[in-house]
Structure 1
Amino acid sequence: MTTYGLGPDWVPGPDGVPFRRAARVILLDDADRLLLVRGHDAGETSRSWWFTVGGGLEPGEEPRAGALRELREETGLRLSAEQLQGPVLTRSAVFDFAAVTCRQDEEFFLARGTETRLDDGGWTALERDVLDELRWWELDELDAAVAAGAVVYPRLLPGLVRRLAGGWDGTSEHVVE
């Protein structure tokens, strides 16, 4: 069943706002390029933003397993659970999508990948409607794009990735957006 036209992983929260738990991967290649997805709002196609690979958890699914599944489905890349570090960040976000206010709690994991060829063959019908591209970003290029007005979520992602590129220190911060 699709709830609110968003997908089956969205359920009414205690306040009636669609809610889901999600897991995401901050994936860096050997050159410290960051993999991001560009998507747009189904209800307002002129709104677009960049974000990490990931998505909603299936019932009973652990965040680490969900992050690996989402990475495989959205990029064709396969990593092991041991290749994920973290969570390096947790995020609680309230946002509008498809003319619906949504709430999502996310866990972000850090991974390194050597394979950079991407395959979007695992995208769902909704993803095909709202996801526009997968792209590897050099960090200086991403900083310049954000300075020029590109929207990235979470907003602290460029700075966080610069810190994580040198190695994860074992801490996890929480952000509310």
Structure 2
Amino acid sequence: MSQAELRPPGTIRHRTTARVLPVRPDGKVLLLHGWDPLKPQTPYWFTIGGGVEAGETVLEAASRELREEVGLVLPVDALGSPVATNQIEYEWGGCRIIQHQTFFAVAVERVEVTFANQEELELQTISKHGWWYGDDLEATGQAAHITIPGLLRQATDAITLRRAS
């Protein structure tokens, strides 16, 4: 949910994002824990990813965001085909965001998460990472968007199918 800068309140921002769902062998998916800078009292769990920059493909953005947000370096060809796409609308920093998202699932064994490459605003609005099953996240009610638990299940299923073939 990289937001390079805060926009004036009331702004409507359209963005295309690339999101990555790293899946461990036990089926848990890596998420980030953070909050809207105007609502720090209401934290939530969200997927790794951010905006596609000018001249960049969705795959390139996914690889870059994975490196920037959690320190996981994967080549573009390791991301495979998208497991899902959707469009959501939400408010962040006083702005309405209309966001088209492409999700990639990647199998990982171990990840040494680091926030060292995050932008300043990310460092101020992301507190930790965690590994989640979709059902467990859904039970907490702390997903940033209602679609996230289902996306975790889709990612786990996709990785399970890849491992089986």
TM-score relative to the length of structure 1: 0.78
Give the 5 Å matches for 1:14-163.
Answer: 17-137=12-132, 139=133, 142-153=134-145, 155-163=146-154
Q: Where is the helix percentage greater, Structure 1 or Structure 2?
A: 2
Distance 2:144 2:45 in 1: 5
Give yes or no for contact 2:28–2:156 (8 Å, CA) kept in 1: no
Shift of 1:83: 1.8
Distance 2:6 2:41 in 1: 25
Is 2:39 the counterpart of 1:7? no
Distance 1:42 1:67 in 2: 24
AA partner of residue 94 (structure 1): E
Deviations 1:104-141 (A, max 9, x none): 1111111111232111100100101111211122x2xx
Distance 2:148 2:92 in 1: 20
Q: Secondary structure of the residue that 1:18 maps to in structure 2?
A: strand
Question: Which residues of structure 1 form unaligned runs of 5+?
Answer: 1-5, 11-15, 171-177
AA partner of residue 7 (structure 1): A
Identity of aligned residues (%): 29
Q: Secondary structure of the residue that 1:72 maps to in structure 2?
A: helix
Distance 2:104 2:89 in 1: 20
Question: Which residues of structure 2 form unaligned runs of 5+?
Answer: none
The runs of at least 4 aligned residues of structure 1 exceeding 4 Å deviation read none
TM-score relative to the length of structure 2: 0.83
CA RMSD of aligned residues (A): 2.4
Q: 1:166 — aligned with what? A: 157
Deviations 1:14-44 (A, max 9, x none): xx62122110001101222210011101111
Give yes or no for contact 1:146–1:152 (8 Å, CA) kept in 2: no
